[in-house]
Amino acid sequence: MRSLLLELMEEYVHSKNPKLMLRRSETVVERMLCNWMSICLYQFLRDSAGEPLYKLFKAIKHQVEKGPVDAKMKKAKYTLNDTGLLGDDVEYCVLTLQVLVHGEGPDVTPVKVLNCDTISQVKEKIIEQVYRNLPYSQRPKVDSVALEWRPGSTGQILSDMDLTSQKEGRWKRLNTLAHYNVRDNATLVLSRVLHTHRQIHQNQDSHEESEYDFIICSVCYP
């Protein structure tokens, strides 16, 4: 690996721009060297750099999620990257949801979200808060949980798309909390779902429909 690295450095110095070395991974040698250095850095990352890197990640994530984030394009109002800046002026407000986890007792977990968040984005924030003491590999996936809003004696299942989704020609908007008129301090129930054959067929039908209908979230316009 040392010989390969020296040869690659010499090649870039004589024929290419040295600053681009190991940036594009255009050759097999570059990919091998990148993987080799990643393996060598693993112990250092785990023992020394892992914690500050994770704190930096959480800080950036907190900053980005303070404002609207496009569910499809991932552009955000408070991003640190100019190319990922959300250009539309979206009105929003912060909501605190009282979340119950079905089958895990009566304890309620307060979760802060935005009323312009899509249902999948709300699920992500709820999972991150409710299961914050579990590693990511043991947390449930967004597609494996259902979210139910209980404004009164009856409950309503919330989803990104359903019969109430707004249509604008061939465009569809992803449902948000504002679409369902969910208010501050509302009680929501998070529960696990089992994928049955019927649900699989429904997902296939939805996938076929999406080939003809472009889908946008409520904070993104064509």
What number does CATH give the domain 92-192?
3.10.20.90
Per-residue pLDDT at 190:
93
Distance between CA 178 and CA 14 in Å, rounded?
Answer: 59
- The pTM for the full model equals 0.71
List, for residues 153-187, the tens digit of each pLDDT value: 778 899 999 999 999 888 899 999 999 999 999 99
Query: Which structure tokens are listed for 157?
Result: 């299942």
Q: Give the SS3 label for residue 179.
A: helix
Q: What is the dihedral of CA 9, 12, 17, 19, to 10 degrees?
A: -20
Per-residue pLDDT tens over the stretch 77-120: 998 887 888 888 889 999 999 999 988 777 899 999 999 999 99
The Cα 218–Cα 172 span in angstroms is: 9
Note the helical H segments in the chain. Answer: 2-15, 28-44, 50-64, 119-130, 177-180, 197-210
Tracing tokens 């990148």 back to the chain, one arrives at 34
Phi and psi (nearest 5°) for 201?
A: -65, -35
Domain ranges of the chain: 1-47, 92-192
